[in-house]
Amino acid sequence: MIIKGLVTIEKCTSKLLQTYPAKSLPKLTMSRGLSSDIVQIGKKLENISFAEFGNILKRNGITEFTAEDYVNFLRFNKNNSNLQELINNPIAIKDFVIRSRKMVQTAENCDKEIYTALKTGLCEYNGTSFNATVNPNILGDMESLIHTGRYFPKYGKEISASKIIQETKVGDVFSINGKMFMNNGETVEELAFSESAYMKLFPPIARFNSHQGRIGNCYFVSQLEALMGSGKGRCHLYRMFSTDKAGRLYVQTANNKTPILLDNVNPNIPHIGASGDGLASIELAYGAGLYETPINKLSEITPKLTMNEGGWKAGGSIGLKSLVGNNANVEVYSIDCKEIRDNLINYLSKYAGKNEYILQAQFARANPQYNLLQAHAYSIKGFSQADNTIILTNPHRAGLDISIPISELGPFNSFSVTRI
């Protein structure tokens, strides 16, 4: 299923944030029962109550607001190290309220499922209603766009590499004096693409909301979007791109004998959708590498040279190795999953939600209540032992995290853990 539109949200939002004036604050609804407490200096975001949020706004001249503004305040300031400056700046806080409201509204025209999850935490997915949350990486992009108008930081050459490493996380991309780099966990590593090329390959928000295309390769797309969702995994993906002396951009997976010129991604060739050209070119390059026919550029790829619909062999020991190389090593793989099921809590506690592990599961039966499809591969993003729930992502729409009670999962067809 390909759902177009979210890839355009960055363009819509950028124009919106540039043209929507902070002084034209929309009329909101005053909430009842506000106390007169003033937020204390150094108050942590998670400790700011709705009443205190109201006092912050009133202190800065905003007397009308909604509960949604409060949710946006918590949602889009999780990475804000200058929170105290924001809540004490009348212009900044008014601007934030406007931009955050407009960001959510923009999502309505780009991806209804994402918009619904932002508004209610529920999602109508193929007619099935279930609890869903928006991928935290998407929220991070939204937050950055709201506060800065861009989704990656820009540094001058006078800023030291050690300071940049302290201010960024593994897998984060940033520019230094116009050149693109990433935090690889140890140092800053230069990337092959320019700022403009990066924005086309991995556009904000859309880059984390890939949609499986018209090929039955859920086994591949679920791993690909899991790599994109992992900081360490993104490092592997970004390294697949290189340039020649003429500055032309190439893509090469471990499955390709030579680099492939990134001339264009043909929209008529089945490939992953809605995420920008980066993941699409990786999927196409990997698929072409399955054949003996030599490919020099993406435009030479025909429907006959795309990804096949075969299974993910050996749970990733072949699959992920042929995608990212020898950095991928299977820790757990099983197609006879009784032992996995009997000891699932232990496996999830050890591996789920860890940056260096990619988890994948395929279920033996469907569960319409949670949109679990039979013989369909999902990536496992997290586990809460306190709630006894597991967080899954469907490759049909990677931007939503589905929280499912472990008791509702049913038997597995396969289960794998790959260390990257």
- Summarize the confidence of residues 154-169 as an average pLDDT: 94
Length of the chain: 420
How crowded is residue 381: how many other Cβ atoms within 10 Å of its Cβ? 23
Encoded tokens for 316: 């990733």
**Residues 6 or more apart from 260 whose CB is under 8 A from it?**
250, 251, 252, 281, 285, 288, 295, 296, 297, 298
For residue 147, the model assigns a pLDDT of 96
Q: For residues 286 and 289, give the distance between their C-alpha atoms in angstroms, rounded to a whole number.
A: 5
Helix extents (H) in 4-89:
9-19, 50-59, 67-75, 83-87
Cα 182 to Cα 165: distance, rounded to the nearest angstrom? 9
Residue 369: per-residue pLDDT: 87
Looking at residue 307, what is its pLDDT? 79
Side-chain half-sphere CA neighbours of 101 within 13 A: 19
Look at residue 229 in the predicted model and tell me its pLDDT: 95
Please compute the mean of the pLDDT values over residues 200-216 and round it to a whole number.
94
Model pTM greater than 0.85? yes
Structure confidence at residue 144 (pLDDT): 97
Measured N-to-C along each axis, helices 90-110 and 67-75 cross at an angle, to the nearest 10 degrees, of 90
Residue 6 has pLDDT above 60, yes or no: no
Taking the alpha carbons of 141, 144, 146, 150 in that order, is the dihedral positive or negative?
A: negative
Read off the pLDDT of each residue in 367-390 and give the average, rounded to a whole number. 92
| CB-based contact 260:253 (threshold 8 Å) | no
Residue type, 342: D
pLDDT in tens, 61-78: 999 999 999 999 999 999
Judged against a pLDDT cut of 70, whether residue 30 lies above it is answered with no
Closest CA to 97 of 54, 132, 36, 130: 54
Detail the DSSP E strand segments found in 258-370: 260-261, 329-334, 357-363
SS3 content of the chain, % helix, strand, coil (to 5): 40, 20, 40
Amino acid at 154: K
Looking at 14-18, 31-35, 397-401, which range is the least confident one? 31-35
Q: What is the pLDDT of residues 360-375, one digit of tens each?
A: 999 999 998 888 999 8
Calculate the average pLDDT of the chain. 87
E strand intervals along 258-343: 260-261, 329-334
Average the pLDDT over 124-143 and give the result: 90
Mean pLDDT calculated for residue range 273-292? 93
Tokens representing residue 67 in the block = 């509960």
DSSP string, 115-173: HHHHHHSEEEETTEEEEEEE-HHHHHHHHHHHHHSSSS-EE-TTS-HHHHHHHS-TT-E
Question: pLDDT by residue (tens digit) across 81-132?
Answer: 899 999 999 999 999 999 999 999 999 988 999 999 999 998 888 778 888 9
Nearest CA to 360 out of 339, 387, 336, 330 is that of 330
In angstroms, the CA 331 to CA 234 distance is 20
Going by C-alpha positions, the residue among 112, 92, 173 that lies closest to residue 140 is 173
